[in-house]
Every structure is written in structure tokens, then in C-alpha cells.
Chains A and B, each alone.
Chain A
Amino acid sequence: MSQNIAVALEGVSFAYNGAPVLEDAALRIGEREFVCVVGPNGGGKTTLLLLILGLLQPRCGQVRVFGGLPRHGRRRIGYSPQHARYDPRFPVTVLDVVLTGRLERHLGGRYSATDKKAALAALDEVGLAGKLGWPLGALSGGERQRVFLARALACEPDLLLLDEPMSNVDLAVENRLIEILQTLNRRMTIMMVSHDLGFVADVVETVVCVNRKVVVHPTSAITGAIIQDIYGGDVRMVRHDHRYAEEGYTHG
């Protein structure tokens, strides 16, 4: 696909308090690839992202981001967590939140005009430019998800890590988000955790299946047998209602 490697894992294992979550994981993601990470709950998807971000250290093996250590490559990553740990009553506007994506560029003081331009551009990209002065708490769950996506974009990242961006989002918004991501993919690598296998098959080139093991498939090669192997049960491939699909998985 591309020559330069954005993310590389080799022989990575990780355990929380002795319980293994990932074992001997290997992965290579090229620049400007669009990758979807799928797998059952507790399979290690979020752990994989946290390892790439350097928030977790592998027990053994090596994680490389843009050829260097995760904590060095971290600033080129825009990250949107599944559940941002924030207080919905915190007194901030949408623009305030998106501007925090520009934070590390300053020792202190105010945001510059360039920062504001970047934040506005990011809000425009996710279709929320009209709500920049709104209190975050007044937005719907799906809109907040887009605010956090905009915050990740305001970092002007080369790699976008999205953890379940489609949760809390209805079908119309989901389609809109997919369009946004496809546009963004022209200039950045995207790695997205999703429950939704249907989504995967439609737009993504590569699927990373995580369930303690990490297995990489081109989308076209996904078959029932592979899915069964990953989820340990019989799962239908095309499901647009992720909530439904979530319940449909048997956990192996």
C-alpha cells in the first residue's frame, strides 16, 4: 500500500495484573492506510490503542510509531477515546474543547489566531461549525463524539486513533462520519476500533482482528470462518446496527 510505516508492533504481549490481554501481537500499518480494529469486548482492542499511544508499556515486544518510541510519536497522533473521562457539567464550550487539541504548542498564555483557525477548520470538517459557542453539555451524545473527533483533528495529526467513534451515534450520523473519515484518510492514517463488521466491509482496506491474538486481514478476505475464529461463535458479517451486533457476539 504505502512505503512508510506508521505503526509497527512486534511480538507484543500485555497483561493486566497477570491476566494476559494480548499475546505475541504483530502488526504493520502503512501511512495513509485505513484500518479497522474489531474483536469482542475484552478482546484487547482498546489495550492495543493504548499501547500505540504509549499509555501502556508492553510486557515484552516492541511498539514503534513513525519509527520511534510511542511517547515520541505521540504528538503526531490524534486520539479520540471511547469514553472521554470528562464531566458533562464542566463549563466549556465546543470551541474550548477543540482548542485543547492545540495545547502543547504553548508554554502558557492565550491561543493564537493560527490555533483558532485550526480549531474552526476541524469543527467545520465534522460539521459542527455552527455550534462552536454551545456548552458541551447541551449537545447530544453523537455531537459530543464529533467534538472529540474535531479535537483530535485540531492536533493536525498524521495518525488518527479512534476508539468506537460510532457508539452513541445514529445511522445518519454514522454515514456522515464515514464520509468525513474517508476524506480525512487522503491525508492521514486512520485506525479505528469498531464493533460494526458491516462498516468494516464497506469502507476499510484492512481489518485487524483482536482477541488476545492479533490477526490482520484484507477486507476482501474476511469470511465466516475467520470471523468465527476471532469471535469464537457464529456471527453474521453485515450488520449495521452495532448495538444488535454487540449482543450477537459470543465471547470466546
Chain B
Amino acid sequence: MAEFFNALVDPNLTFLRYAFLTGLLASIAFGVMGTYVVVRRISYIAGAIAHCALGGIGAALFLQTRFGWTWASPMLGATLAALAAAVIIGLVTLYAREREDTVIGALWAIGMAVGLLFLAKTSGYVDPMVYLFGNILYISEYDLWVVLALDALVVGVGAFWYNKFLAVCFDEEFARLRGVRVGFYYLVLLCLTSLTVVMLVRVVGIVMVIALLTLPAAVAGQFARRLWHMMALSVLFCMAFTAAGIGLSYGPDLPSGPVIIVVAGAVYLAVTIGARLRKPRLS
């Protein structure tokens, strides 16, 4: 650990500082949106959005190499694909009388398949592993600004519409009866979730998005009595998991994403089992 702290202040290792700072700052958006995802029980939607992001990443890389569209960055592709997935899933759950989970599962797989096909036809070598499992140590100063913007958006919108989001998540039917545009707020929530998911892909990769989005919120939920308490706690837990994950992975040269997830998962299991033992009658 001492080695890690020395590296953190080493002027030659800026990438580590960026990674560390990005992880901490992104935890704000992760904690807030993760709380909504957990209480509204839409973590599988977040998973589908993450996998659709790969479609966007693949398309962007393909366009970059095949047509020389340098502006088509993987992040832009991921963002657009994630937003499109959020809107499609939102509209399907709100209006189409389809089986929701079938549609979500289909999008999940199709997004992934499209991404892999694009990557297969992209000239030059692209390692899908970077996107699937993430690598926070690739993060640049630019990403830091993106994370700050995302935090500002999530906290700003989240604070302004906190009461609306709470009502829509808690009892949608009642909110609708009171004249609240439930569909609109639900779509806003899903779009904020998809922006957050894109950032998560950067930190822990597509495969582990759901874990870092929901585990801190799930741990916080064991202690919180009100929604915003849960958000604040969830932010703190997410910061702790990310920091611990990066710190623990540095010495033995492990990939940071999986270590973050293992730390989060271990704490979640311990807290859940602890809560069971303390109050055996409550489920």
C-alpha cells in the first residue's frame, strides 16, 4: 500500500493520479444513479444499455479506420448507442405491450453482436478486452473533465427533480394520477443512467457495469432511511470501493476493474449477511 501512495504523488505517474481522481469523482454520478437503478429495480436495463454501448464503440472504431472519420471517437459512439438503447427500452416499457424482459434481453445481445461484428471488420488490431473489462489506468485528463460534467448534470438534474423522481420510482400510478408526466421523468432517468453507464464502461468495462452501479447502492440501502441518505452513502461507498480497488491492484499489478468489483462484492456480502444475522425476521 505504501508503494501505491508513493506512486500516487510521483510526478512521472500522472496516469495513476488521473485514474484515482476520475474514480473518486465518477463515484458521485455512480452513487446517485445507482441508487435510482436499485430502488426502481432496473439494473438489468442498465446492463442492456452497457452492452449496447459496445455496438456504438464498434461502429465508431469502424468508421474511424474505414472512412477516416476521426471525430467518431469510441466514447461518442458509446454515448449515442447507450442513449438510443435507453430511449428504446423506455418507450417499450412505457407504451408497447411487449414482454419487457424479452425486449431488454434482445437489445442486450444485439448491441453486443453488432459491436463485435464492427470490431471484426475494423482494420488494425482492436482489443475488445479493453472495453469489456475496462482499464481505468488508460484515463486521460480529458476524461476527468467529462466526469466533472457528468457529475454536474446528474447532481443538478437529480436535485431539481428529486421529488418527481422519488414519486415516479416509489409509486408510478399515483404520480400519474397527480398529473406528473411519468413517461418523461422515466426517460430522463434512463438517459442519465445511460450517460453514467458509458462512464462506468470506461472505469470497469461493460461486463462489470451492473456491479459497480448497484453494489454501492445496495450496501447503502442497508443503512439508509431516506432516498437521499441512500444516495450520499452510496457515493461514499463507491468512492471507497474504487479507491481501495485501484490501491490494491497497483502493487501486485492486477487489472483495476475486477479488483474494484471484488472489493465491492465482498463488502456487499458481508453487510447483507450481517444485516440478516442482526434482524433475522426481516427479509
- Which residue of chain A has the shortest Cβ distance to B167 in the bound complex? A100
A97 within 8 A of B: yes
Interface 1/0s, chain A 69-106, versus B by CB < 8 A? 00000110101010011110111110011011101101
Cβ–Cβ contact B174 & A99, under 8 A: no
Report A237 CB to chain B, min CB distance, Å: 34
Interchain Cβ contacts under 8 Å between A and B, 25 examples: A75-B178, A81-B173, A84-B173, A84-B174, A85-B171, A86-B171, A87-B39, A90-B169, A91-B224, A91-B226, A91-B229, A91-B230, A92-B170, A93-B225, A93-B226, A96-B226, A96-B227, A100-B163, A100-B167, A103-B167, A103-B178, A103-B180, A108-B160, A108-B161, A111-B163
Given contacts A87-B39, A87-B41, A135-B225, contact A97 B170 (CB under 8 A): yes
Q: Which residues does chain A contribute within 8 Å of B280, judged by CB atoms?
A: none
In the complex, A89 Cα to B180 Cα: how many Å? 23
A55 within 8 A of B: yes
Interface 1/0s, chain A 130-171, versus B by CB < 8 A? 000001000000000000000100010000000000000000
- Residues of A near any B CB (own CB < 8 A): 53, 55, 74-75, 77, 79, 81, 84-87, 89-93, 96-97, 99-101, 103-104, 106, 108-111, 135, 151, 155
- Which residue of chain A has the shortest Cβ distance to B221 in the bound complex? A91
B177 within 8 A of A: yes
In the complex, A55 Cα to B175 Cα: how many Å? 12
In the complex, A151 Cα to B167 Cα: how many Å? 12
In the complex, A75 Cα to B164 Cα: how many Å? 16
Number of interface residues of B (CB under 8 A): 27
Cβ–Cβ contact A79 & B177, under 8 A: yes
Cβ–Cβ contact B227 & A74, under 8 A: no
Cβ–Cβ contact B177 & A77, under 8 A: yes
Contacts A53-B177, A99-B163 given; 5 further ones with Cβ under 8 A? A85-B171, A91-B225, A96-B227, A104-B178, A104-B179
Cβ–Cβ contact B163 & A85, under 8 A: no
B240 within 8 A of A: no
In the complex, A77 Cα to B177 Cα: how many Å? 9
Cβ–Cβ contact B227 & A91, under 8 A: yes
B143 within 8 A of A: no
- Which residue of chain A has the shortest Cβ distance to B230 in the bound complex? A91
Interface 1/0s, chain B 177-197, versus A by CB < 8 A? 111100000000000000000
Q: Which residues does chain A contribute within 8 Å of B173, judged by CB atoms?
A: 55, 81, 84-85
In the complex, A111 Cα to B177 Cα: how many Å? 19
In the complex, A25 Cα to B175 Cα: how many Å? 28
Q: Which residues does chain A contribute within 8 Å of B230, judged by CB atoms?
A: 91
Q: Which residues does chain B contribute within 8 Å of A135, judged by CB atoms?
A: 225
In the complex, A86 Cα to B39 Cα: how many Å? 10
Report B227 CB to chain A, min CB distance, Å: 5
Q: Which residues does chain B contribute within 8 Å of A104, judged by CB atoms?
A: 178-180
In the complex, A90 Cα to B172 Cα: how many Å? 13
B248 within 8 A of A: no
B166 within 8 A of A: yes
In the complex, A35 Cα to B163 Cα: how many Å? 33
Q: Which of B39, B163, B174, B226 has the most CB of A within 10 A?
A: B174
Q: Which residues does chain B contribute within 8 Å of A81, judged by CB atoms?
A: 173-174
Q: Which residues does chain A contribute within 8 Å of B180, judged by CB atoms?
A: 103-104
In the complex, A110 Cα to B164 Cα: how many Å? 10
Report B137 CB to chain A, min CB distance, Å: 35
Report A51 CB to chain B, min CB distance, Å: 13
In the complex, A86 Cα to B227 Cα: how many Å? 14
For the complex of A and B, the 7 pairs showing the least CB-CB separation, nearest first, are: A108-B160, A100-B167, A104-B179, A104-B178, A135-B225, A91-B224, A91-B230
